[in-house]
Amino acid sequence: MTQRLHLVFGGELSDPTKTVFKDVNDLHIVGIFPNYETAYNAWKSEAQRTVDNAHMRYFIAHLHRLRDETTPASPTEELG
């Protein structure tokens, strides 16, 4: 069975119309979740908790999409 890990994270944006964080050292890592449903529930909880701050945003990153073992390595992987 394929694992489909998801990372939920967020922080304060420098401008609410863009997705640039004000301070990446201050990101809130909610956690890594085994499926989209649990990641979505965690995202929703954090988004609702910070709804009064227009600069706060939370995101779901699909970690399983970052690395596909069937795709050839990128040139940057060969630099290491």
Query: Residue 80 — pLDDT band, cuts 50, 70, 90?
Result: very low
CATH code at 15?
Answer: 3.30.70.2400
| DSSP state at residue 38 | H
Instruction: Domain of residue 15: give its range.
Output: 6-78
pLDDT in tens, 11-70: 999 999 999 999 999 999 999 999 999 999 999 999 999 999 999 999 999 998 886 666
Residue 23 lies in a domain: yes
Q: Measuring CA to CA, which residue among 28, 27, 39 is closest to residue 63?
A: 39
Six-digit token string for 26: 């201050």
pLDDT in tens, 60-74: 999 988 866 666 655
Q: How many domains does the chain have?
A: 1
Residue 1 lies in a domain: no
Six-digit token string for 78: 């060969």
